[in-house]
Chain A
Amino acid sequence: MTLYILLKYWKKHVKSALAMLFAGVLLAAIVFIGLAAVRENRASSFHVLFNNDVYGHAEIIAADSNDEIFQKVTEGKSGYNYCVINVYGKFENGFSYGTIEDEQNVWHIPLTEGRMPETADEIAADRGALNKLFWAGKCGDTITIDGKTYTVTGIIDEYYGTHREGAELNDKCVVAWSNLPQTIPLIFVGKCDGEPLYRVDMFNGLIDPNIGEEAYENELEKYNGILRELKNDGKIGWFLTISEWGRATNQTREPEAAFFLWIAFIGAIISALSVFSILRSIFSERKSRIEILKRIGMSKRRIAMMYAVECAVFAFIQITLGIIFGFSAYEGIFKLRTEVIGEKVYSGLTDMWLVTHFTPNPFLFSAIISATVIIIAYILCILTDKIQRKAPDKNAEPRPLSKCFKQIFSQKSVSATQIAALTLICFSVISGYLYYTDNGKYSIDLVSYFRPSSNYYINGLNMEEDNIAEYYSSAAPTVNYIGEKEPLFPFVVDNFSAGIDDNTANTLPEYTFSFGSLPQTLISSEKRKFRYINEIDTASESFRQGLLALSDEEHQNFFDEGQLGSEYLYKTETRLTTSKVIESLSGNVTEGELNIEKLNSGEEIIVAYQTIRPPFEIGETISLNSISAGATGYGVGEISSAEVKISALVKINPEEDKVINSVVRNKEDYNLLTTATGAENMGFPCAKYTGIYALEPMDGGLIPSSAQMKMKSLAMMQHDYLVNQLIKYSSSIAILLVMSLLGFAAYFNGIGMKIRQKKYEISVLRAVGTNLKELKKKLLLESMKIPLISTIAAYVLVKLFQLMNWLCWLIEVWFAHTYYINNTAPPPDYIDAIFDVFMDIANNVFFEEGLMWQANAEIPMLILFAVICAVTFLLTIIALRKFKNNIAGDLNEGRTRQ
């Protein structure tokens, strides 16, 4: 009988049933998708950790070994990762550096930027090590370590050196584990000659943690046995086995899991609210029916049974359909991302023990949550049904017409649901947009603050902002340095062969800027020039002895009277650029004249500066020198000297023309400037252009292959960046989109439902003479209130969210700064610089454009508001179209529902 009554009722109220099921199915689906995304995140990070090993962990490390260890350990195994590091360099009294056997196999050493070094003058180093060397640059910049200058090609994630169990980052720029006699470097060079101090073999991924903890530990012990045997036989020096079990089961490195759970939570709330409001409407609609049933003798127990059966049926249908829908949606999105976009992710619907054991089961939890929501909704509806209308106030005046209309069309539970749903959706969408905008990334890296990280930066220029379409570059001449204090004594290693000369540069298009540099040039003077910069201290006896020891035989008299070493020496870089560029500086000449012919002949030279007038007179002759390294690579090998006349002073404003500034200026107060031909005619080696900026795409064939130039194309970088962003964010965007659409569907569903439920009232109003047009207008205005209230509420929440993020960022920056100061001993000016940066941030950054907490939320909010209003308007109009001329028919239908 109970089922019969229920069937009869729902047959007549199919639309309400569908609305209820829709909300419930949404709920189950959203929860399912959210939890599947959490599992996916864990599966993907696990695969990355153990197959690609971004963070450089190893299960086995063995030193002083040979190939036999490889055979013994890897017998029959596949799917593992292996790397050999040869350790060179100083040890105990300085830092240790090494090379990797296979530069391409960088799974082991995680890079946050750039690549591993390939040539002898290139270096990649751990960020922590670089901080200890007080180096705050970025890839492409140079660093001097132990008197040798390298180009930094890669920066290693400091996680590698500091966060491993038992590891410590020490002053020697190495990773030290307790009980080990030797260490693993954090600085890597491209090539090293000679025998390494020792070799380290590193293995990872030998044991699959999915076999369970006990089996994993047993396997590890087996390897311990193998290595112990090898050590006893003297075939390896020392070894270490590290259990990755803790890391495999560690859930902390899943930042995106929280994001998906948050989205799923919001979606679930919205759907749950929808379920409740629809059920509430249904309950009030059939209140009179229940009363009739009670009057004809149906007991409360039977009515309760009826509700229970109805609840169970709805729950079953919702859960079943919701899981099917959620599963299909997730699988569909997953296939799209992996097969179409090409994203490398691992499905959350996996049976991997390490995933399923540590994350909630999407099937089970979506069923539980869905069932719980509908049961709670039923209980709440039954309880609220008992609330009686309060007794009328006898003295109350009739309400005005506008309030009457408001009362007639008021559906508080549905409106509250819609407002809550829309507010949450708008807040999530805008927050997600802020977080994922290009400038929205949260960073406490103070180095990044100095030079904001971007894919388009080269030599301090932003290719996008400074309109550089292509950048060609070759390796610069190698310059070595020695000395006890800055500025160090430079020696160019003159077997340099890359770059282009003026003959080639002059054939390149007008929109190109070719440039090079001789960083080793020295101005010499018999008398001390107090206003010259960078005087090299050669007075120290230990320095002199050291230099002579490294110099070739014929220059043992370098410091003797009449020799270059007896003079005062000033390190003054000579920048090189083409005559075309120099001619364009004619408007910047403050003193003297530009004479290209004499520049090219090597007779004259220009001085370029920014603000303070350089200490040279026009027409003054200076002695310019360059020392080529001797056999040792450091001492005096050959000296090139030229007497050149200062022909002009050229002032460059870096803000007015960044490209020209980058081409002709360095960071010193002044530098010399001439053409490559001029420098060559002065007798200086390595006088070539090693960089070309092209403001438009150029035919790369114009550059000879002997120049060994590599090209960076802005268009390609932008394209790669977009693709990478798309791949990186596609999963989040796809899930966010689905959740948003589902949430919006819940909101828009409410619009039609409201109109349907007020059909009777609308018919009565029309019957007493209310104009349909007027009614439509009132209903439209009523429905527009909801997007308005929701977007205002969402906007307030977004602003609070931005404020909160800014405050948290400030606090973290302060703590990072304080920790750094307390735990290291940076130079005083570094501390002052950091403090100034911090105060600048505290005072100004909140208003600085582009940072997440000040990223523009107004425009996206307005766009979202406009879209929601437009769709609300449209759906309301569509819902009202059903009201035509048959008022009597509508009345009849409405009476039946009442």
Chain B
Amino acid sequence: MIKLENLCKTYGKDESAVAAVNNVNLTVNDGELVAIIGKSGSGKTTLLNLIGLLDKADEGKIICNDNEITSFDDNKASDFRLNHIGFVFQFFDLLPELTAAENILLPSRLAKKKAENYKEITESLGLSERLNHYPSQLSGGQQQRVAIARAMINDPEILLCDEPTGNLDEKSGNEVMDLLVKMNRKQHKTIVIITHNPEIAERCSRTVEISDGKIISA
């Protein structure tokens, strides 16, 4: 379970300060597939970054599986991200110097775990023939699938996806969404997806709407 309590994040100072996340309270239960929707600049990505410990909140708490993760130092935060969270970025963020296989296996090697589900993940994502290619040699859909595989390799409880289909064509986007839904149903992964696509949001079990850093509906 993910619980956000009075979460705040402000960028800038004094007159130019912007409250990207403004006193947000939200609970995501285990196994939920939640879509966070909102206009551009509403604070969706900031909220996801805070949950994924990619940024530090100014105020409030985030409780994840009974751990108050907002108080974690860098070591603990890294460890938590490595073992409990999988992050899928809109722009894939694959390391260009590594092959697809190396990108996928990176988190497991960092965690010093054996990637027992590597074959299963890569086959289910249709990447078997592309594992030794570099990201620059893959299509957008393939890159995003590599990013999903990377996010899943350590079998995290939580998957955070920032516009996972944002840079994909409709077909690829639907394929990716099918994967995520399947993971949620079969493996009971808690998945939070940021999207501004209402069709994507419809496929999720719950939709949270955010505007100007505040939750409008949850």
Contact = CB atoms under 8 A, between A and B. Distances in A.
Contact of B132 (A392, A404, A888): A392
Interface stretch (A67-75, A343-351, A770-778, A789-797): A770-778
B176 to A, nearest CB: 19
Residue with the highest number of chain A CB atoms closer than 10 Å, among B91, B97, B105, B136 = B97
B36 interface: no
B82 A398 contact: no
A898 B78 CA distance: 24
A771 B55 contact: no
A777 to B, nearest CB: 13
Chain B contact residues (Cβ within 8 angstroms of A): what range?
Answer: 35 or more
Interface string A661-690: 000000000000000000000000000000
A488 to B, nearest CB: 89
Interface stretch (A440-448, A467-475, A759-767, A859-867): A759-767
B44 interface: no
B159 to A, nearest CB: 13
B48 to A, nearest CB: 9
Contacts of B110: 401, 768-770
B150 interface: yes
A408 B95 contact: yes
A767 B54 contact: yes
Contacts of B150: 768
Contacts of B85: 769
Interface in B41-91: 45-46, 49, 54-56, 74-75, 78-79, 81-83, 85, 87, 89, 91
B194 to A, nearest CB: 13
Interface in B93-111: 93-99, 101-102, 105-107, 109-111
A768 B106 contact: yes
B81 A768 contact: yes
Contacts of B56: 885-886
A895 B93 contact: yes
Contacts of B98: 404, 407-408
Interface in A395-430: 396, 398-401, 404, 407-408, 410
Nearest to B87: A767
Contact of A392 (B78, B97, B134): B134
B137 interface: yes
Contacts of A508: none
B97 to A, nearest CB: 5
A768 B85 CA distance: 9
A393 interface: yes
A526 B132 CA distance: 112
A123 interface: no
A767 B93 contact: yes
Contacts of B101: 398
Contacts of B106: 401, 404, 765, 768
Contacts of A393: 132
B79 A769 contact: yes
A406 to B, nearest CB: 9
A392 to B, nearest CB: 4
B133 interface: yes
Given A389-B136, A393-B132, A769 B111 contact: yes
B99 A769 contact: no
Given A392-B134, A764-B93, A769 B83 contact: yes
Contact of A885 (B45, B55, B83, B91): B55
A278 interface: no
Given A389-B136, A401-B110, A887 B79 contact: no
Given A394-B132, A773-B75, A891 B54 contact: yes
A889 interface: yes
Nearest to A769: B82
Given A398-B102, A885-B74, A768 B107 contact: yes
Contact of B95 (A389, A761, A891): A761
Residue with the highest number of chain B CB atoms closer than 10 Å, among A398, A769, A886 = A769
A396 B132 contact: yes
B164 to A, nearest CB: 15
A771 B74 contact: yes
B74 A772 contact: yes
Contacts of B91: 895
B105 A407 contact: no
Given A398-B131, A767-B87, A769-B111, 9 more contacts: A392-B134, A761-B97, A764-B95, A768-B87, A768-B110, A772-B75, A888-B45, A888-B46, A888-B49
Interface of A: 389, 392-394, 396, 398-401, 404, 407-408, 410, 761, 764-773, 885-889, 891, 895, 898
9 contacts: A392-B132, A398-B105, A400-B109, A404-B102, A410-B97, A768-B82, A771-B75, A886-B55, A887-B49
Interface of B: 45-46, 49, 54-56, 74-75, 78-79, 81-83, 85, 87, 89, 91, 93-99, 101-102, 105-107, 109-111, 131-134, 136-137, 150, 154
Closest A-B pairs by Cβ, 5 of them: A769-B82, A888-B49, A888-B54, A392-B132, A401-B109
